[in-house]
Structure 1
Amino acid sequence: MAKVISTKDKYITVDEALSLIKSGDVIVTGLGGAEPKEILNNLHKIADRVRDVTVTTCLPLEPAEYFMNPEYQNSFKMDSWFYSGLMRKAIKNGNKSITLIPNHLHESAYKRGFHKKTNIYMGTATLPDKHGYISLSLSNMYEKRVLKEADLVILEVNKNFPRTFGDMEIHVSDVDYMVETDYEVPVYPDLEPNEKDFTIGKYIADRINDGDCIQLGIGGIPNAVAASLMDKKDLGVHTEMFSTGMMNLIKAGVATGKKKNFNNGKHVACFALGTKELYDFIDDNPSFVMFDGYWTNSPAVIAQNDNQVSINTTLEVDLTGQCASESLGSSIFSATGGQTDTAVGAQMSKNGRSFITLYSTTMVRNKVTGEKEEISKIVPFLKPGAGVSLSRNDVDMVVTEYGIAELKGTSITERVERLIKIAHPKFREELLREAKKIGIIY
């Protein structure tokens, strides 16, 4: 008869957890606030005994030594589905072991499984309840799917983490080891929208109707959109990231979910990231549910909601409509994430719409003079090496502070004309000349 291991026997220390890692292991960690801080902050301490450990991450928020300090890059490699500012800083500081896994986020774990077997899944969860169940709390983008397939599962359980519902619960019998921790839930501060953000937000809000179902990305512009929707009624939420802006809409009675085709009355997401107030709101809140990102972010699932609206940001758009949202030339900035998932799904929806937003210009340092200069973010062609996050075949509407360019179904000539109209006025003539010079139009 097999020995039954009690919950008490599953508790181990951080050092004991680290002792389970060996050279060549493939580790997957939770997304954003779901990453196991205590283990990762001590991971570098075993660098002298391991080599070629791959840590697969997504939007890491903890400045752990194992990747921030380049001296550990022979011991630990970081593969990521989505870069964070910390990763960009680590690369700048000389860590050459960091690389991106190109992906549509809903397929991230599914496709990764064809290439690499996960040896260890490490994430976070709530403390076990009286029935022996724990909640994965902040993310189910890929966590539960990977957890089921991993050889070994180690979770940091923490009384401060919100208990969330949907498909977040697992029994402790499905966990190999737990490390009890007591740190505060990682907070991701809201970007305060500026004047340009609110201008763009107002353009989009004017195109959103009562009863629409919304998806918002991350940043000042999506926050401004949320703030501009306070006069709407019965909005639904089917989104990738659940943000503080969305919480505000729910608290104000603007987002009720009553008009949704499915999950009626429920606010659906893959992960939550934001303020302490946000975490308090989702804790034990049955109106908020998180499901596997493979399902939630599937364009086919998103399309089942009528009037689905997708709102995301990009870094650069060329005059044919190609959106580079993840890199500045060949330098990785973030990743495609769920941009294509949600933009395509929204357009498949009955009366659905997709908005891609950006400022018309940005300031960059001139490599010759060293002085900062203003350049257009609407360009004749993308910077060499840029990743196309949303193809011109999938773009719907592009929005800057100068208006909305409706591109769906348009010709390249029409796209050039419409995108130039929402470019900064001082670049419009130059863009037209360049478009003719390179043969986009005649």
Structure 2
Amino acid sequence: MVALAPAVAPAAVLSHLTPGADVIVPLANGEPTAVLDAIEAGAGSLEGVRVHQMHALHDRPYLHGAHGDRLRHVSYFLSRVTRPAYWEGTVDLVPNHFSEVPLLLQRSTKCSVVVAACSPPDRHGYFSLGTNADYVARLIGRVPFFLEATPHMPRTRGANTIHHSQVAGWCESDRPLIEVPRAQPNDIDRAIAARVAERIPDGATIQIGIGSIAAAVLDALSGHRDLGIHTELLHDGMVDLVEAGVVTGVEKEVRRNRVVTTFCLGTRRLYDWLDDNAVVELLGVDFVNDPRVIARMRRFASVNATTEVDLLGQCASETVAGRYWSSSGGQADFARGAMYAEEGQAFIVTPSTTRDGTSRIVATLSPGSVVTTLKNTVDHVVTEHGVAELRGRSLADRARALIAVADPSARDQLTVAGRGLGLFR
């Protein structure tokens, strides 16, 4: 057994928070809850500290301005917790592609300290960041780490292990991980999924987002063979494909025979499956989401959702009705990578209408909406009514293809609008 420095109280982290410090926190279950509790409890002694994080899962008073400029949150992807705080003006939002977040943090912040949840140290003195590698993996050995070890965190493999000599301090807690149940697809989701799955060949490497359409796509792939997984997010539906032998990774060009991801979020079943699982590699997002890495994989298939598509093919995937809802994430990373991959395909999926019957395919994006994936990058747009193949087609042909997969009730109006925009006669 390696002799480790003893665990300390979570409040020991405060000694690392000098005026103007930038605290880096992994996303989702990578957040060390006891450590952040201690930081907030000591906020009265802080000056201008910023907490940088994507997709926070725990609501806290400081997110809503409880400590003013002493402690403020900077988000790189809004969640159900940070979204209302951003709308209130008490959280800042930095636009980004997920692959570039490590570089953004290194160039635009002091990277004063990383605080992160981890598994307990092993007999060799290594901590594992468990469900996460994300943007903090790049900072290991370059930035002080203050860790919170919990027995509920799975020990995973990859670029997310830290030797005790690289740790500025560590504490212990018994916090459970947050679980996100698998979304349940409806008939529309399944219709969209069937159209995607039939275009993904055996031996392809896949990236699939989260949500009900993603769950339906994974179900629809159950009859495929020798798929590979190279994805930013690993969730429960992917476990099913691995356990069924659908995913083997034998035809992957990058990290063959391995399931590659940069973070994991799901149920306890997923977390237990991850524990000491040699087939899964947690690697930094600057590798996993790098379009140049993705492009090296033949037959790469990317599947991501959007909220609105205009007749040019521009996809607004981070705003709803012109109001910020999330952020860009890795959608453009994977769409660009798939575009350059040999036989690569990128699918943007969406129901043809919102719950209230409003068309998601529109003549022009709603005021305030922002483009997440450029028209020049968008490959396929898939609704329950069909697949619009856009790459390499004229503006007129793109618009006609999109109208053809819109809800039938919206097609005449879209046709009139398309003529008015001069897209076709």
Structure 1 length-normalised TM: 0.92
Q: Is contact 1:43–1:66 with CA below 8 Å preserved after alignment?
A: no
Instruction: Give secondary structure in 1 for the equivalent of 2:196.
Output: helix
Contact persistence 2:146–2:167 (CA under 8 A) = yes
> Could you say which residue in structure 2 is the equivalent of 1:369?
none
Match of 1:106 among 99, 104, 127: 99
Which position in structure 2 is the counterpart of 1:343? 335
Could you tell me how far apart the structure 2 residues matched to 1:283 and 1:143 are? 20
State the Cα deviation string for residues 15-40 of structure 1 (Å, max 9, x = none): 22235434321111011111111122
- Select which of 398, 410, 417 maps to 1:427: 410
| Corresponding residue number in structure 1 for 2:31 | 35
Contact 1:329 1:382 in 2 (8 A): no
Residue of structure 2 in register with 1:115 after alignment: 108
Equivalent residues of 2:183, 2:211 under 8 A apart: yes
Counterpart CA distance in 1 for 2:109 and 2:424 is: 45
Query: Where does residue 56 of structure 1 map in the other structure?
Result: 52
1:394 equivalenced with 2:377 (yes/no): yes
Q: Deviations over 1:109-137 (max 9, x none)?
A: 11232222111211111111111111111
Find the partner of 1:8 among 5, 8, 14.
Answer: 5
AA partner of residue 341 (structure 2): S
The CA distance in 2 between the partners of 1:395 and 1:51, in whole Å, is 44
CA separation in 1, counterparts of 2:232 and 2:322? 26
Q: Decide which of 79, 95, 105 is 1:84's aligned counterpart.
A: 79
Residue 206 in structure 1 maps to residue 198 in structure 2: yes
**Deviation, structure 1 residue 320:** 0.4
Q: 1:137 aligns with which of 130, 147, 165?
A: 130
For 1:414, the equivalent position in structure 2 comes to 397
Aligned length: 424
Aligned partners of 1:99 and 1:327: how far apart in 2?
A: 16
Find the residue that maps to 1:361 and give its secondary structure.
Answer: coil
1:221 aligns with one of 213, 226, 240 = 213
Question: Which amino acid is 1:261 matched to?
Answer: E
Amino acid at match of 1:177: G
Q: How do residues 289-438 of structure 1 correspond to structure 2 at under 5 angstroms?
A: 289-328=281-320, 330-363=322-355, 373-438=356-421
Distance apart, 1:49 and its partner CA: 2.6
For residues 337 and 173 of structure 1, do their structure 2 counterparts lie closer, same or farther at Cα, with a shift above 3 Å needed? same
Task: Give the counterpart letter for 2:310 in structure 1.
Answer: D
Contact 1:329 1:387 in 2 (8 A): no
How far apart, CA to CA, are the structure 2 residues paired with 1:191 and 1:89? 23
Structure 2 unaligned spans of 5+: none
Three-state SS of the structure 1 residue aligned to 2:40 is helix
The answer on whether the counterparts of 2:105 and 2:111 sit within 8 Å (CA) in structure 1 is no
- Secondary structure of the 1:176 match is strand
C-alpha separation in 1, matches of 2:139 and 2:369:
30
Q: Give the superposition deviation at 1:194.
A: 1.4
Are the aligned partners of 2:65 and 2:72 in contact in 1 as well (CA < 8 Å)? no
- TM-superposed CA distance for 1:41, in Å, is 3.3
2: CA distance, partners of 1:17 / 1:196 = 49
In structure 2, give the amino acid aligned to 1:252: A
The 8 Å contact of residues 40 and 64 in structure 1, kept in 2 or not, is answered as no
User: In structure 1, what residue type is equivalent to 2:123?
Assistant: K
Q: Quote the residue 1:25 is aligned against.
A: 21
Go from structure 1 to structure 2 and tell me whether the alpha carbon gap of 1:400 and 1:73 turns closer, same or farther (over 3 Å shift): farther
The amino acid that maps onto 1:386 is: S
Shift of 1:291: 1.2
> Aligned residue for 2:62?
66
- CA deviations on 1:221-256 (whole Å, 9 max, x unpaired) are 111100111111111111111111111100111111
Displacement of 1:330: 4.5
| CA–CA distance in structure 2, aligned partners of residues 73 and 259 of structure 1 | 53
- In the TM superposition, what are the counterparts of 1:264-283 in structure 2 within 5 Å? 264-283=256-275
- Taking only aligned residues, the RMSD between alpha carbons, in angstroms, comes to 1.7
AA partner of residue 33 (structure 1)? N
2:69 is paired with a residue of what secondary structure? coil
> How far did 1:98 drift?
1.1
Q: Is the 8 A contact 1:33 1:187 kept in 2?
A: no
Greater Cα shift, 308-317 or 188-197: 188-197
Aligned partners of 2:190 and 2:213 also within 8 Å: yes
Q: What is the Cα deviation at residue 197 of structure 1?
A: 1.0
Which residue is 1:366 aligned to? none
C-alpha distance in 1, partners of 2:295/2:161? 26
Aligned partner of 1:175 in structure 2 is 167
One-letter amino acid matched to 1:339: Q
Query: Which AA in structure 1 matches 2:289?
Result: N
Structure 1: distance between partners of 2:182 and 2:19? 39
Give the Cα–Cα distance (whole angstroms) in 1 for the partners of residues 424 and 93 of structure 2.
Answer: 35
Q: Is the 8 A contact 2:363 2:414 kept in 1?
A: yes
Q: For residue 233 of structure 2, what is the amino acid of its counterpart?
A: M
Is the contact between residue 180 and residue 267 of structure 2 (CA under 8 Å) also seen in structure 1? yes
